[in-house]
Structure 1
């Protein structure tokens, strides 16, 4: 018959730290926020598709913009947090659907987060706000800024 330990007796082999008995706990948590789209959905929204078709296939956009026509933005982020530290964005994807004045898809762009800037994966250009100036417009603007009074 096995012997039971006596009350008050201490066996060091029976004492284990809780962290040793606990399963392997991950201190890093990863969360996905926002809109997740598939390649199949994108194939159902070709150039020239109507705004109604985009609404039906992709749903309500995360946000919209109006710059030379309307733009739908579908935004998703992957955020990681380690223990008690602040969450940090490790990936961001933005699907931008541009419409012409007839509410037809004129362009689709897929942007991501690289080095803290929004980046267009297709054209490999960083997105900017405002209209792009021609070389001559840039020269004229620079000369006006250097000499606003018009004389020397």
Structure 2
């Protein structure tokens, strides 16, 4: 009877430890366009146009706003570690370029090699000028507002047109 109780406790402990370690795994999430290589290969420059690309690949993630109206399809895989911020682990951007008549010129595929990682320096943005305290910001303009030529209703001297 003691062996059965020991086995149940051991099994419970193993189950509890596996549940705890499973909770520490990062979450993997896909965002954006799902790339199907077969459909992508079926888009041919010089043959397809805007309408056929939309029917084959679907509506684009976004369309360029300047210059030629290129189509962009964005696909991302994001990993979120426990108690951490989400980070993009894989990214693919498809760009379908068109000529003035709306026919496909080229299909470009870019990945994470084009992503620039920037690291800000510290918590503050360096600026030019004076460093003022809160009280100086609140009360610094007292006496300075309207200081030049205030108080008299009638001008003392010739006006702007010489009268």
TM score, norm. by length of structure 1: 0.62
**Match for residue 125 of structure 2?**
none
Distance 1:58 1:110, change over 3 A: same
Distance 1:12 1:115, change over 3 A: farther
Q: Which moved more, 1:73-82 or 1:31-40?
A: 31-40
Pick aligned residue for 1:27 from 3, 11, 25: 25
8 Å contact kept, 2:35–2:75: no
Displaced runs of 4+ in structure 1, greater than 6 A?
11-14
**Match for residue 91 of structure 1?**
90
Does residue 1:69 correspond to 2:68, yes or no?
yes
Distance 1:82 1:18, change over 3 A: farther
Larger % of helix: which? 2
Pick aligned residue for 2:38 from 32, 37, 40: 40
Q: Structure 2: 5+ residue runs without aligned partners?
A: 118-163
Larger % of strand: which? 1
**Match for residue 52 of structure 1?**
51
Q: Flag the structure with larger Rg.
A: 2
Q: Distance in 1 between matches of 2:86 and 2:13?
A: 25
Instruction: Give how far 1:19 is off.
Output: 6.0
SS of corresponding position for 2:70: strand
Instruction: Give how far 1:38 is off.
Output: 1.5
TM score, norm. by length of structure 2: 0.58
SS of corresponding position for 1:42: helix
The aligned length equals: 110
Distance 1:30 1:19, change over 3 A: farther
SS of corresponding position for 2:60: coil
Q: Structure 1: 5+ residue runs without aligned partners?
A: 4-10, 119-152
